[in-house]
Structure 1
């Protein structure tokens, strides 16, 4: 019987070959996850917006459409454009509440931009708002056709209410003086903080109320008499800006571009505002 001897060298060759194949497969396997790894930042799926009452109705309708079109969820908070209440937008931003976009009266937004709270160059007008007059549902409609008619209506009214935002500040500090009845009306007038004036009128706490038309339209239990005459009217732009501390600057700009685009005009008109086409300040 013949015995075939295998040399150590012959045994080593297949072992080396197997080791090489295993090493090659290992390196290939290590490369696969690296090639498949996604290094792009995650897409923003949520934006926080704080809006004042004048643009609230329009914004809610537009936000629903924007969510459907983009998949970006909008979280909305509300507050007056100015005032001392905790809900006032400047006070919310001073506390650094979650906010990527703010929408409020242009005068208030300009101040926030000057203070560095809103990113410079992002301020964009969205809608133009006019002041309207309301009484409780079922009550006779007072005459507001002319400045003289408004003067007589206010003098004869038992109680009057206006907001603590842009329209109310104008009525209390400018319009009453212009009509020459400040001393007669201010003592029976109330500036309403953080609550729609229409609600105060609907509850019978004021005989007549003044506020932006877009803020009165959603309120039940009132009768909107009409807009102030042109000689007394104050048009307030409601505008949007990107919050300076927002981590989503580009996405916030995209939302503002949508809100100011022609696609938004029909909804803005339905809310009681006129669309504004002014672009962001240079």
Structure 2
């Protein structure tokens, strides 16, 4: 459709993009047709030939595609930072995750911890519990999902704790975000956007990229759990 931009985005930006798409269209911009999946899944889809006008991925993932000339390097802009956090079911006590020792004890005490197999947060968490020396204990009773929102497993009582980007945790009703995993244990992920070189709507796509990176959208990013 001539008045529609096809956008593929990592799940971490789903809440923000959903809010911004309506605002952008109402202000006279094009309609945004968005689809969301983990960065690794989107990279695979793009390399298999799927097309889009704009991609929102991790900074590293987008840089890979720029090196492969699938994304126009000059169009790339950083949008937001995101921390991995922990959530519990609504009404549950908030455990201690403020320190490495507190986090370690909290994870070991949980009946089950939900995390994603291929998402950025899931890969980080797998490495984290390995470095803490508790991978075997946690994985013996973990709820590991292939993709999607880990906090949904809190609502269904399959897990006591859910680990994911805070912006992804906040997409699920009926849960409460306890907070981020201590910063000393993680490096916030940076999410970036860029135009695919094969897009036939370069002007419209670049205009949307400028909007997404503008100060105007910063409050929406913060509300969704991201740091502009």
TM-score range relative to shorter protein:
over 0.9
Superposed CA RMSD: 1.7
Q: State the distance in 2 between where 1:246 and 1:191 align.
A: 36
Residue 193 of structure 1 and its aligned partner are, at CA, apart by 2.0
Query: TM-score if structure 2 supplies the norm length?
Result: 0.92
Q: Which has the higher contact order (CA 8 A, sep 6+)?
A: 2
Q: State the distance in 2 between where 1:55 and 1:188 align.
A: 29
Q: State the distance in 2 between where 1:126 and 1:71 align.
A: 19
Residue 223 of structure 1 and its aligned partner are, at CA, apart by 2.1
- How many residue pairs are counted as aligned between the two chains? 227
Q: State the distance in 2 between where 1:192 and 1:177 align.
A: 18
Residue 186 of structure 1 and its aligned partner are, at CA, apart by 2.6
In the TM superposition, what are the counterparts of 1:20-99 in structure 2 within 5 Å?
44-82=2-40, 88-99=41-52
Structure 2 residue aligned with 1:165, among 119, 125, 132? 119
Query: TM-score if structure 1 supplies the norm length?
Result: 0.76
Structure 2 residue aligned with 1:218, among 166, 171, 175? 171
Structure 2 gaps, min length 5: none
Alpha-carbon displacement from aligned partner over 1:26-82 (angstroms, at most 9, x marks no partner): xxxxxxxxxxxxxxxxx9411111111111111111111111223411111111111
Q: State the distance in 1 between where 2:145 and 2:61 align.
A: 18
Structure 1 gaps, min length 5: 1-42, 83-87, 276-282
Q: State the distance in 1 between where 2:71 and 2:153 align.
A: 33
Counterpart position of 1:205: 158
Alpha-carbon displacement from aligned partner over 1:142-177 (angstroms, at most 9, x marks no partner): 11111100011111222111122111101102x113
Structure 2 residue aligned with 1:272, among 202, 225, 228? 225
Residue 106 of structure 1 and its aligned partner are, at CA, apart by 1.5
- Runs of at least 4 residues off by over 4 Å: none
